[in-house]
A and B are shown apart, each in its own frame.
Chain A
Amino acid sequence: MISVKGLVKSFGDLEVLKGISTEVDAGQVIAVIGPSGSGKSTFLRCLNKLEEPTGGTVEIAGFNITDKKADIRAARQEIGMVFQHFHLFPHLTVLGNLTYAPMKVRGESKAQAEEKARTLLKRVGLSDKADSYPASLSGGQKQRVAIARALAMEPKLMLFDEPTSALDPEMVKEVLDVMKDLAKSGMTMIVVTHEMGFAREVADRVLFLDQGKLVEEGTPDEFFSNPKTDRARDFLEKVL
């Protein structure tokens, strides 16, 4: 589903990703962890070209997006993204948020898009919020709407950038539960997270980034109970 080879990303003189290579199969859930500033967000954003990779290749959902001729908009339709700060459209209702792109980009009819939106809202437990505006929702509700909005495009895989970091502690669970449910349904997911419990329980594989390098990669069991590198060990000591 994803094949990253020698991915390099620089901002001016600052090399943030220093040659990252990894493969992800369909249906896998990958947790990306590492210290602040290690390049986790940048890595994720290179996967749907919100950041333009400086070097290397990224193949994702059947598109070689590092090829200049790649249809990047078509690729993005297959790649759902969930942001730390939700980025819901504030001037649209919840239903409007969920139906806008399916109608505009996928050419679905209003009836079709709304029916799907209501099914998705039910799935994330927000059936009663269809006509609310984002400003009236709690953080956890906003993030669940954001997940539903991404799913409304029927993507092949989903990227999450610290989806629970901006939430009050009591709202973290409701969002993680939706994500667990999604993982169970077989969705391919890349999740940048500080929630070690979630990584341990749900991820098939953990990627540990430090200073722009993929330092360690393994199953959660291997990684959490028996880290191979000093850097991973140091990091785990701090966060666990």
Chain B
Amino acid sequence: MNLDFTQMTPYIPYMLEGIWVTLKFVAVALLIGALIGTLLALFKISGPAPLRAFAVAYTSIFRGTPLILQLMLIYFAVPQLTGYDITPFLSAITAFGLNSAAYISEIIRAGIQAVDKGQVEAAQALGVPYRAMMKDIILPQAFKNILPALMNEVITLTKESALVSTIGYLDLMRRAQVVGASMYRQFEPLLFVGLIYWVLVMILTLIGRKIERRLKASDIR
């Protein structure tokens, strides 16, 4: 065994800072994904034919190609095509936001369509307008189906976020590599951030379970 964590000590604050960098970028990407994803889901459910076709094609493309390819395309293609020198942060939130929008739109669509069709008919029969029906009757019920799946997406996104190290964005993963290179020891810093990722995911999982349990409880009340 040739493990030595003591050498790493001075670099620890630098690597811990990566937690916030990673979380910040995941949060922004998630926000973008949720906004666009909701819009896409509504297109799929009740949009006019061209918008529906667009949403379906969008989802198919972003789910059907590697995320790292989408990231590279945005990072390298934007400067080449437009001359605009896009920052790693901007490329990262764009790629991850657009990508998670595709997944989130499917989560929301499935969640809405799992609501009993009788709910729509009951609201229609009472003369409730479409928007009010969606907001007050359908979405609150769909939310219970959506939230657990959404938590999974947050976890996936947190892990996959390590991909942005490939374009030089200084997230947790990238910091481990930087530290590894300057100490000529890769193994220890990688193990260290690996542990951090695992703890993050565990925390998210626990939060998800708690939410799920609370939703179940409100079903029986």
Query: Hey, which bits of chain A sit against chain B, CB under 8 A?
Result: 48, 50, 73-74, 76-77, 79-81, 83, 85, 87-91, 100-101, 104-105, 133, 135-136, 149-150, 153
A87 touches B121 (CB 8 A): yes
Q: Which residues of B contact A81 (CB under 8 A)?
A: 122, 125
Picked from B118, B122, B126, B220, the residue with its CB within 8 Å of the CB of A105 is B126
Per the bound structure, the CA–CA distance linking A74 and B126 in Å amounts to 10
Pairwise interchain contact A76-B124, C-beta atoms closer than 8 A: yes
Taking CB as reference atom, which chain A residue is nearest B133?
A104
Q: Chain B: which residue is nearest A82 at the CB level?
A: B125
B125/A76 in contact, CB under 8 A: yes
Give Cα A87–Cα B123 distance, bound, in whole angstroms. Answer: 9
CB distance from A217 to the nearest CB of B (A): 26
- By Cβ-Cβ distance, the 7 closest A-B pairs, closest first, are A87-B122, A87-B118, A101-B126, A81-B125, A77-B127, A76-B127, A73-B127
Q: Pick the contact of A135 from B127, B128, B140, B221 — CB < 8 Å?
A: B221
The total of chain B residues at the interface (CB under 8 A) is 20
Residue B119 at the A interface, CB < 8 A?
yes
CA distance A80 to B122 in the complex (A): 10
List the A side residues contacting B85 at CB < 8 Å. none
Which chain B positions have C-beta within 8 A of A79? 125
Chain A hits for B219, CB < 8 A:
135
Is B72 engaged at the interface, CB distance under 8 Å to the other chain?
no
User: Could you tell me which B residues sit within 8 Å of A by CB distance?
Assistant: 116, 118-119, 121-129, 132, 136-137, 140-141, 219-221
Q: If A74-B127, A105-B128 touch, does A83 touch B122 (CB 8 Å cutoff)? A: yes
Q: How far is the CA of A80 from the CA of B121 in the complex (A)?
A: 12
Given the interface pairs A90-B141, A135-B219, the reply to whether A50 lies near B128 with Cβ below 8 Å is: no
Would you mind naming 26 contact pairs between A and B with Cβ atoms under 8 Å apart? A50-B121, A50-B124, A50-B125, A73-B127, A77-B126, A79-B125, A81-B122, A83-B122, A85-B118, A87-B118, A87-B119, A87-B121, A87-B122, A88-B122, A90-B141, A91-B140, A91-B141, A100-B137, A101-B123, A101-B126, A101-B128, A104-B129, A105-B128, A105-B129, A135-B220, A153-B127
Are the CB atoms of A104 and B118 closer together than 8 Å? no
Q: A50-B124, A74-B127, A135-B219 given as contacts; is B140 within 8 A of A104 (CB)?
A: no
Chain A residues near B124 (CB, 8 Å)?
50, 76
Residues of B within 8 A of A91 (CB): 140-141
A133-B221 contact given A76-B126, A104-B132, CB 8 Å threshold: yes
Contacts of B136 in A (CB 8 A): 100, 104
Closest to A146 in B: B122
